[in-house]
Amino acid sequence: MSTTDHRALAEDILNGVGGADNVTSTAHCAARLRLVLRDPAAVRTETLKALPGVVTVVKAHGELHVVTGEGTDLVHQELELLTRRSVGSAPELEFSTAVFSVRGLGGRTIAMLSAVFAPVIWPLAAAGLLKTAVVVLGQLGWLDPDAGTFTVLHAVSEGIFLFLPLFLAVTAARRFGAQPFTAMAVAAALVYPSLLDLGETQSTTTGPTGSLLGVPFPIMVFAASVIPILLIVLAQGWVERTLDRMLPASLRSVGTPLVTLLVVVFAALVLLGPTVVIAGEGLVAAVEGALGSAPWLAGAVLGGLWHVLTILGLQWGMVGAIAESVGEGTSGVPTTATLPAVIAAAVVAQAGAAIAVLLRTRSAARRKIAGASSVAGLVGGISEPMIYGVTLPLKKPFLSGMLGGAVGGALTASSGAAADQAVPPALAGVPAMAAHGSVVLLVIGLGVALLIGFLPTVLLVDREDPDEDPDAEPDPEPTTTSTMMSVAPSAPSSADRSSRAAPPSAVEILAPMPGRLLPLDAMEDELFASGTMGAGVAIRPVNGHVVAPVSGMVIAAPAGGYAYGIRTDDGIDVLVHCGSHTPSLKGEGFTPAVRRGDRVEVSQPLVDVDLELVHGVGFDAVTAVVVTNAEEFASVTPAEVTEVEPGELVMTVITGEKEDPDGAAQEHPGERSEDVHT
């Protein structure tokens, strides 16, 4: 068990890099601290390498990598506290060619949205179910809308949705490297009741309703918004880092949050807000125009894109238009009062997709959220939990729901169905929507939306792997090129000991992919090139189909799909690491075929890699094949060839105990520490 004083080690590391003022940002993975420094010349590399607990130090791509092995996350926490930054994971959005490449940006955005919502998805689902119950009881007349009980239940169920930006500000700040509580203060200012009142007025009138320093501007409703608050927190992180560089240390504690609050809130109100409001007004005008001439077209576009508009924060102009026109709908004369029926088609279609996921997925965690959220969506019109917890992360269900919303929206808009009062856009609102227009066409439209959302999802959705522990937090995905430096597997079995005690034998490690065989120092990642990760070879691949180089148990397989650690029956730990810097792709371009805990046979597929994507973002696809516990064996010898095909020899491991310089055998491998470098 480690006895490292993580606080003391963090202080020593800070001293070795020139102090806390020299640190711009920190991040970590399983075994590596990543520091971005203002003045790299201030680093005392040899001092750092000599610290107890530091394995090595590498400078790469503008960062200082300090390899600490076990307890890296704890050292990182202490570093964050010492440098005044928030304790949490590394910024999710890194300013690199990988993030800003057009290809794959949508996938990374969806992954980011899903991750930001993950901590609040269950409170959202619970509030959604309660809100659905309140709506149904109100519709049945069992709850008096003017009674105190209704008011309290409505506040309990509606509060998290209204103030959603405050919750997202915290999770986004931890992913974007911003201060969480400053982010909450920014979000609180933007949903402050007085601003909400101005925003609600603006949503049903034209012209600016607010002014700042004498400059008039339209007020945006930031309540319940998603993308706007994420963009704001991203900008906040940049402002904070800029101020930290500019302000002296004595002013930073108060000066950075003070200036950040003023700058970010002002910019959100006068730059981002008006942009969203103008876009929303244009959308309302376009929809109102289309409703008069081609209601089916307006219904199709709005029904298909409704949840995209909601994510972008463009829905409030439409909500205001609906509020103005409630009661105006008459049979055969569609107006904006018919839009709740169109929105209901969009919500019901996503609910159909969520129900399909519920029936199809093998993930217990996904099944739980799909069941609760589909009920809230189908009955009460609460779509956030099922969008962010079910359909959007899986992509195809979300697209199926968009298609169902488009077809169903065309039919419900053509029905002319409209209510004389505000109603939820779901099955609970159907009786009120039937006050005008064709009830039959309304019901058909909702039924078609549900069916189209359901069927493609059932046929096309990935069933997902069963959860190892449905209630456990997922393994954090490393964000650097090395992932498996510190794995703590179970103690070697008696079979392991007996096999290693056997007479020396030659074990062949085969090529996992076709390509040119290179020395390990051809890798861009210094930890591989220097041999720190183990002995082995590198392969410049000609295609991205990667197979197992040995038979054994998969002991490590990070979520990004870029690396696989396999332990053979002889106790040899073989790591296949696809490319350098590929962890920052967050799984984009990698299609895994195995997971940790699987038993694989030699030449069994491990992963398919989109080499075109890897090269397109400027990363090297050269793949490392290393024996990470090479020091436990007599020798690891690369093959003397230049071109290899899958299944051909790339290196040979001679088992048996090494001899020390005096001829005595080293520590028995079966009795080694359980800190296995994989």
Q: Which residues are catalytic?
A: 29
Give me the helices (H) in 416-511, please.
430-433, 439-460, 494-501
DSSP 350-408: HHHHHHHHHHH---HHHHHHHHHHHHHHHHH---HHHIIIIIHHHSHHHHHHHHHHHHH
User: Hey, what amino acid is at 602?
Assistant: V
- Residue keyed to tokens 């997922």: 474
Local structure of 342: helix, strand or coil: helix
The span from the CA of 426 to the CA of 340, in Å, is 9
Distances from the Cα of 530 to the Cα of 488, 520, 525, 535, 538, angstroms: 23, 8, 9, 9, 12
The span from the CA of 241 to the CA of 521, in Å, is 35
CB neighbours of residue 634 within 10 Å = 16
Among 544, 548, 546, 539, residue whose Cα is nearest residue 643: 539
The span from the CA of 118 to the CA of 163, in Å, is 17
The span from the CA of 626 to the CA of 103, in Å, is 31
Angle of CA points 496, 500, 506, to nearest 5°: 120
Which neighbouring-strand residues pair with 540?
516
**Would you give the DSSP letter of residue 127?**
H
Which neighbouring-strand residues pair with 565?
556, 575
Local structure of 641: helix, strand or coil: coil
Q: What's the token pair of residue 242?
A: 């800029």
The span from the CA of 156 to the CA of 291, in Å, is 36
Length of the chain: 678
Q: What's the token pair of residue 292?
A: 């008069």
**Would you give the DSSP letter of residue 28?**
E
CB neighbours of residue 68 within 10 Å = 26
Residue 640: phi and psi, rounded to 5, are -95, 70
Residue 537: CB partners within 8 Å, gap ≥ 6? 517, 518, 519, 520, 624, 625, 626, 638, 639, 650, 651
Among 307, 325, 340, residue whose Cα is nearest residue 227: 307
Question: In this structure, are residues 565 and 629 in contact, taking their beta carbons and an 8 Å threshold?
Answer: no
Among 409, 203, 178, residue whose Cα is nearest residue 301: 409
Q: What's the token pair of residue 320?
A: 């205001």
The span from the CA of 155 to the CA of 161, in Å, is 10
